[in-house]
């Protein structure tokens, strides 16, 4: 859920300057067609999603690590 929220925020944050630059800057107008614009925006959204997902997974792994595990789960001997 957090990844989806971050992706939505990143989409807006990337879309506004991308679309504004295409309208205002001659270079961007000449070189960024709609497909290029969509690629920039979706790449930023995807990166934000996976970064937040990775941070969430790591924080959950730290929370449920070996040190905080119950004693019956720490016994890994095969005797």
Asked, for residue 1, whether it belongs to a domain, the answer is yes
Asked, for residue 75, whether it belongs to a domain, the answer is no
Neighbours of 31 (CB within 10 A): 10
**Average pLDDT across the chain, whole number:** 85
Total structural domains within the chain: 1
In this prediction the pTM is 0.66
> Which residues form the domain of 15?
1-68
Asked, for residue 24, whether it belongs to a domain, the answer is yes
**pLDDT class of 4 with cuts at 50, 70, 90:** confident
Asked, for residue 5, whether it belongs to a domain, the answer is yes
Asked, for residue 42, whether it belongs to a domain, the answer is yes
Q: What is the mean pLDDT of residues 24-45?
A: 91
Tens digit of each residue's pLDDT (9 = 90 or more) over 54-78 = 998 888 888 777 777 777 777 777 6
Asked, for residue 78, whether it belongs to a domain, the answer is no
Asked, for residue 74, whether it belongs to a domain, the answer is no
């Amino acid at each position: 859920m957090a990844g989806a929220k971050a992706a939505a925020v990143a989409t807006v944050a990337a879309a506004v300057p991308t679309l504004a630059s295409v309208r205002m800057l001659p270079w961007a107008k000449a070189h960024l067609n709609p497909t290029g614009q969509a690629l920039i925006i979706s790449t930023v959204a995807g990166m934000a999603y996976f970064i937040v997902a990775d941070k969430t997974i790591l924080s959950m792994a730290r929370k449920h690590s070996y040190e905080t595990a119950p004693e019956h789960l720490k016994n890994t001997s095969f005797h």
